[in-house]
Amino acid sequence: MEFFSLNGKQVSRIGLGTWAIGGGEWGAVSEDDAVATCRVIFDLGMNLIDVAPIYGHGRSEEIVGKAMREHGRREDFYIATKAGLEWNERGVFSNSEPARLRQEFEDSLRRLRTDYVDLYQIHWPDTTIPVERAAEVMRELLGAGRIRAVGVSNFSVAQMEAFAAIAPVHSNQPPYNIFEREIDVEILPYCERRGIAVLTYSSLCRSLLAGRLTAETPIPEGDIRRLDPKFQQPRFGQYLRAVAGLDAFAQKQFGKRVVHLAVRWILDRPGISAALWGAKRPAQLDAVKEILGWKLDAEAMAEVDRIVTEYVTDPVGPEYLTPGVRS
């Protein structure tokens, strides 16, 4: 495994993303599979698990808590959880009111069955109040030793700057994958300059880059990908043709598959610390072994760009994931 340093801790450059194991928007996952997925990371040399209260409305944190208890050694895990999203019958909204953040923190500790969080992240900026309000709570938790590092997610450069005036920003978690590179323009160079670790989400573009989907693959009712404009025809066809092109290139050039290329591509981009890999069962992480021991050079990076440009003529970003603004 490759590692990076996050506020003095060694963290694996591939992390398990646990949104899907909470069920809900990704279909049912059995508790045994979910817990086993969190525990298999050690067989692969990983220690990073990303989670959040919103995932399965608390369920993913409970699963991670159960896995830590079964494993027995809390300190083996590097747990990155989040705060700042509320959900109700009307939808999902950013909410970084300090009282809410403090309550969320206690709720997360209870679900995770731990007394500290390795990396605590503000999930989405709350644009109804200054980001400094959230930063004050994070500074307080860090100062008290209840969290070991502070992160943000989905923040702009201006929001990170304002936050950093109050509390350290050790990490940022934006979307990033071969098809979604909006952060290349401003956010990634900023983080690199400031020494802010970058943990990327949707590394497999919500399974598109895993290579198992075809135009005929059924996407069940209620699955988050039904809302994703990439998964709607005719655009879906463009993305699938690009995936086929990338898979052919990965096989010919490296003897690998598109899922391996997708994650290696992220790790070889300048300024990236770790790629989060959403998995529902241990077997989905088998492919992690194939990511290590090779690299994409400039020529390979250029070929990936060429394939994407050739097939994806009507690209769209991950904006549909943006939560609502509370009133």
Stretch near ligand NAP under the rule CB under 6 A, chosen from 62-70, 131-139, 197-205, 295-303: 197-205
- Least separation in angstroms between residue 113's CB and ligand NAP is 19
- Cis status, amide bond into 234, omega within 30 of 0: yes
The answer to whether residue 153 forms part of the interface with ligand NAP (CB under 6 A) is yes
74-104 b/e with 16+ CB inside 10 Å = b? eeebbbbbbbbbbeeeeebbbbbbeebbeeb
d(CA 147, CA 101): 13
**Which single residue brings its beta carbon nearest to ligand NAP?**
17
The answer to whether residue 93 forms part of the interface with ligand NAP (CB under 6 A) is no
Per-residue binding letters, 260-289, with ligand NAP (x by CB under 6 A): ----------------xxxxx---x--x--
DSSP H or E segment with residue 38: helix 31-40
- Least separation in angstroms between residue 35's CB and ligand NAP is 16
The answer to whether residue 47 forms part of the interface with ligand NAP (CB under 6 A) is no
In the list 11, 12, 13, 17, the residue contacting ligand NAP (rule: CB under 6 A) is 17
Strand order in the sheet with 91-94: 85-88, 91-94, 324-325
Which pairing describes strands 91-94 and 85-88: parallel, antiparallel, or unpaired?
Answer: antiparallel
Return the number of the residue (245 or 318) whose C-beta is nearest ligand NAP.
318
d(CA 322, CA 91): 11
Do 294 and 264 form a contact (C-beta atoms < 8 A)?
Answer: yes
d(CA 315, CA 182): 11
The answer to whether residue 111 forms part of the interface with ligand NAP (CB under 6 A) is no
The answer to whether residue 207 forms part of the interface with ligand NAP (CB under 6 A) is yes
Look-up of token digits 């159960």:
66
Catalytic annotation present for 55: yes
- Least separation in angstroms between residue 296's CB and ligand NAP is 19
The answer to whether residue 205 forms part of the interface with ligand NAP (CB under 6 A) is yes
Question: How many residues at the interface with ligand NAP, by CB under 6 A?
Answer: 28
Cβ partners under 8 Å of residue 70, min gap 6: 35, 39
Residue 125: strand, helix, or coil: coil
Site residues (vs ligand NAP, CB under 6 A): 17-20, 26, 50, 123, 153-154, 173, 201-207, 210, 212, 259, 276-280, 284, 287, 321
Active site residues: 55
